[in-house]
Amino acid sequence: MFIRNMLLVFRLLKESFLFALSALKDNRTRTLLSLLGVTIGIMTIIGVFSAVDTLRNNLEESVRKIGSRTLYVEKWPWDGGPDFPWWKYVNRPEPKYKDYESVRDRMTTASDVAYSIYIGGSTIKYQNNSASNVSIAAGTHNIYDVRKLDIVEGRYFTEQESRAGTSVTVLGATVAEGLFPHGSAIGRYVTARGRKLQVVGVLKKEGSGMLINVSNDDAMYIPFALGRNIVNYENYSPSIAIEVKPQFSLEEAESELIGIMRSTHRLAPQREDDFSVNKTTLITAQLDQMFVIINLAGFCIGVFSILVGGFGIANIMFVSVKERTNLIGIQKALGAKNFFILSQFLIESILLCLIGGAIGLGFVYGLAALAKLLFDFTVVVSLKMVVITSLLSTIIGLIAGIVPAINAAKLDPVEAIRSK
């Protein structure tokens, strides 16, 4: 008996589906106008959240380049803001090379320790070609491992070259392209800060970030021992970077690092730290606060867009019930149950929303593919958003069609037939 009833329900749903599909085909213009509202609504909500996901992905990728398991000892903390108490930090000393040596020799939770400075705004020349606004990164040998440098041509410095301060350099991709547009940079000599440097390697092109630009494309790397002979390194915001071993937490490493730095600086227990230990969680915490606001704004925009589409569907469904009142009366007179009439209009409403959602989703995927093709820019359209959109389209279809469908199901067959 149960199986027979289920088969009957499925047969009625199938017939309702075919009736709804036939109604949509018979009124192509109205169907197209109905789809337009839903398509724009769905496209807006997916577009907004895809833009947010793309922004988040880009920022998180930039943070990962800094190092999610890397600690930085610097003069200034990263957690700035409108109420940043700069006067507390302005008289702090810069981390010195002897601080780096102390951390390198004593820290047990570190896998790599590097010391570096960045000499910004430099001009690099090769014959008649020049690259301006280049950042010269002068780092100790382990900066290669800490910054996860990816060399696509040539090599990195040898340990002997790093210790001796040999006049060698590794160029960022954009710098190499600007200086050597028609040939290889390896083995050539460039001029920077009055020094001739031999190019031994070229880094992989990374591209720039949206808000946090940590790309090496406009940088060149030289040994720290060479950099300290070119400039007074303490005037270029030196930084100690510590890569934490996998078996230790950042908190354990940070605690040990603070103890070593306080000991090296001979700070009494009651005195505050005269250095900052920075990590990417300081940035991600600020990003999380920002994305709460962005997601809320995106949700509000999406909801209003979907509501506009839903009202359009509801209006069309009321018109559809009015036009087909006579046909509904004939169907009921021939024995059609209320469930059959109800399901016709509900399925029609849901189909409109699902088709509109699919078209809107197709537009977003098309624009994402176009952005990738023309600008080499990746737009993130998550599978989660596709599933949510499908569910949302179904729910909107149910809500928009439920009242017109109930009104159609409750029609008196005699009155409905006489309405024409």
The confidence band for 309, taking pLDDT boundaries of 50, 70 and 90, is: confident
Tell me the chain's radius of gyration from C-alpha atoms.
Answer: 33
Average pLDDT in the chain = 80
Residue-level pLDDT at 196? 94
Mean pLDDT of 50-68: 71
pLDDT tens string 363-376: 878 887 887 777 76
pLDDT of 258 > 80? The answer is yes
Residue-level pLDDT at 21? 64
Residue-level pLDDT at 114? 94
pTM, 2 dp: 0.64
**Rounded to an integer, what distance in angstroms lies between the CA atom of residue 138 and that of residue 238?**
10
pLDDT tens string 130-145: 999 999 999 999 999 8
Residue-level pLDDT at 283? 66
Sequence spans of domains, the chain: 11-62+285-418, 93-274
- Cβ-Cβ contacts under 8 Å for 99 (sequence gap 6 or more): 73, 240, 261, 264, 265, 275
- Cβ-Cβ contacts under 8 Å for 154 (sequence gap 6 or more): 170, 185, 186, 199, 200, 201, 202
pLDDT of 164 > 60? The answer is yes
Q: Where are the beta strands (DSSP E) in 264-419?
A: 276-278
The full DSSP string for 13-45 is: HHHHHHHHHHHHHHTHHHHHHHHHHHHHHHHHH
pLDDT tens string 184-242: 999 999 999 989 999 999 999 887 655 455 678 889 999 999 999 998 888 898 999 99
Sign of torsion over alpha carbons 358, 359, 364, 365: positive
